[in-house]
Amino acid sequence: MELFKMSTKRKEKESVDVLEKEELQHELVLFNDEVNTFDFVIDSLISVCEHTDEQAHQCTLIVHYKGKCVVKTGELSDLKPRCSKLLELGLSAEII
C-alpha cells in the first residue's frame, strides 16, 4: 500500500503601506443668472473649462434648474484663471 503525502503551502499576505500625496481639490462653481443665453454659457464652458459639447450642455441645464453647478475641480492654481475668465465674460462663478 502506497501512501500519498500531501503537502500544504502557506500563503502570506504582505501588507504594503502606500504613501499618497493628498492634494486639496477645489471646485469652480457656476451660478445661474437671468442674463446670459444657454448658447453663450455652453460656448463659455467649452472655451474656458475645456468641456465637451455634451458636458457643457449638461452643466448649463443643471445651473438653470438647480441654480448652480460645479463645472471644474482641481488645484487652485488651475481654477483661478478659469474663474477670472468666466467672470470677465459676465458669468457668475466662484471657487470653493
Domain CATH for 52? 3.30.1390.10
| Sheet with strand 92-95: strands edge to edge | 68-74, 26-31, 92-95
Please report the pLDDT score of residue 5 as a whole number. Answer: 58
The answer to whether the predicted template modeling score (pTM) of the entire model surpasses 0.85 is no
Inter-CA distances, 45 with 7, 11, 26, 30, Å: 64, 53, 17, 10
State the average pLDDT for the chain: 88
Please report the pLDDT score of residue 11 as a whole number. Answer: 62
Please report the pLDDT score of residue 19 as a whole number. Answer: 54
On whether residue 1 sits in a domain, the answer given is no
Task: Kindly state the cell numbers that stand for 80.
Answer: 483661478
Host domain of residue 64: 26-95
On whether residue 3 sits in a domain, the answer given is no
* Displacement of CA 75 from its chain's centroid (Å): 11
If pLDDT is split at 50, 70 and 90, which confidence band does 24 have?
Answer: confident
On whether residue 58 sits in a domain, the answer given is yes
| pLDDT tens digits along 39-76 | 999 999 999 999 999 999 999 999 999 999 999 999 99
Task: Kindly state the cell numbers that stand for 69.
Answer: 453647478
